[in-house]
Structure 1
């Protein structure tokens, strides 16, 4: 069975000013898949133009692979934190701090 690629969000509109080309989404999807592959079993070669194309867009792949990367990262924290407290901190407060830093525009 093929992994879900966001079928429930079929036509995800881009926020204003954040439109990307299919080529840009393909590059992003490939980079995110590469990162996720480093943390677990290889993800399928099913993006547009690949040997096992699944018919979903590069944008759908980028978001699906990002969700996979987030899940694999969280699993890594749960599995290898030296204590439950350290895992809770890394997956909670530290994660939120890093996310907020990414959301804050740089000068």
Structure 2
């Protein structure tokens, strides 16, 4: 389900629904977090994250320098981003998807 914001153009009686943007959570590679810690944090804080997918993303972070670990609405994105950052993961700023 996509959240929408009703917007009525000036001088119009119709309402145009603009979708709220999604945001990307990006984990960055660093020299101090272990593979196990990164994977465990993804499983713990990202909804529906499986162990296999968490390890795939962890390897992507290590070998490619970053990985998009979740995309969705701003409010939960901010919450998950904050939780991962508090666990010590190196995070890119939230950005629109």
Instruction: Give the TM-score of the pair, scaled to structure 1.
Output: 0.27
More helix by share: 1
Instruction: Give the TM-score of the pair, scaled to structure 2.
Output: 0.29
Structure with higher RCO (Cα < 8 A, 6+ apart): 2
More strand by share: 2
